[in-house]
Amino acid sequence: MTQSEGGILVSLVGIFTVWIASTDALLGYLRPQMRPWLLTAGAVLVLVGLATAIAGRRAGERTRLRVGWLLLVPLGVHAVLNPGPLATYAAAQQSTPRMITVGNLDLEAHLHAGSFGGQSPELRMVDFFAASRSADDRELLGEQSIRLTGFVGEPLAGSHQFMLTRFVIGCCAGDATALEVAVRGLRGPAPRADTWVRVEGTFDGLWRPSRDQDFRVPSLAGTRLERVDEPSEPYEYP
């Protein structure tokens, strides 16, 4: 590979980076606040690549290692496979749940504001988890029906029960933590794995997924389920 060819490849990687940062594809890998930094990094790669290619042309072509063509691998993988956000398989690889630290939420005020017109308020999974640690909040959630959005994860005993799952990321998909809520009490078979759904119901205590595990997850007594499109922001943030 010549110096100018290497510069062109670097520019292509930069253009690919700028494209990712300019679309919702970014949200499958990073939180939205990282967009300006990724745009900047992509622009720098484009400029560096062009400068390298021009310098190579002026200085005369010099043969370099063929390993430089490996820069095309991530572009090819994304173009061919188009990997989506983390899903059921990734959640199954998480051996034990990790604690999530979130900001303070006035749950009572949020539920009151969200129940305008008699509808069940929408609650983030991460806030539902945080509220399940408080006795007072658990009482509120047991009395007020709420809605949670996530994808269908691991099936439970009975075809109508499943783990509602959503990933939380701090910076990027590399530090993702899967939050799972046991949905029980719905009628009919559960949708297939990785289907995005919105479930309505009330808090139904803390439930142990397995006798071999000591941790417990929040349980939701489901009353209604609807299939929804995958949200533009598939991850939640603390």
Reported as a pLDDT band with limits 50, 70 and 90, residue 229 is very high
Give the pLDDT score at 104.
76
Element (H, E) at 49: helix 35-59
pLDDT digits (tens, 9 = 90+) for 85-141: 888 888 888 766 565 666 678 888 888 888 777 789 999 999 998 898 888 899 999
Q: What is the 3-state secondary structure (H, E, C) of 103-138?
A: CCCCHHHHHHHHCHHHCCCECCHHHHHHHCCCHHHH
Domains of the chain (ranges plus CATH)? 3-84 (no CATH), 91-227 (2.40.50.140)
CB neighbour class for 125 (10 Å; exposed up to 12, middle 13-18, buried from 19)? buried
CB neighbour class for 211 (10 Å; exposed up to 12, middle 13-18, buried from 19)? exposed
Residues 6+ apart with CB under 8 A from 51: 7
Is the pLDDT score of 159 beyond 90? no
What's the CA gap between 181 and 162, in Å, rounded? 8
Is the separation of the CB atoms in 150 and 166 below 8 Å? yes
What's the CA gap between 125 and 103, in Å, rounded? 13
Share of the chain above pLDDT 70, in %: 85
pLDDT digits (tens, 9 = 90+) for 166-190: 999 988 888 888 999 999 888 888 8
What's the CA gap between 58 and 39, in Å, rounded? 29
Q: What is the identity of the amino acid at 112?
A: H
Number of Cβ within 10 Å of residue 144's Cβ equals 18
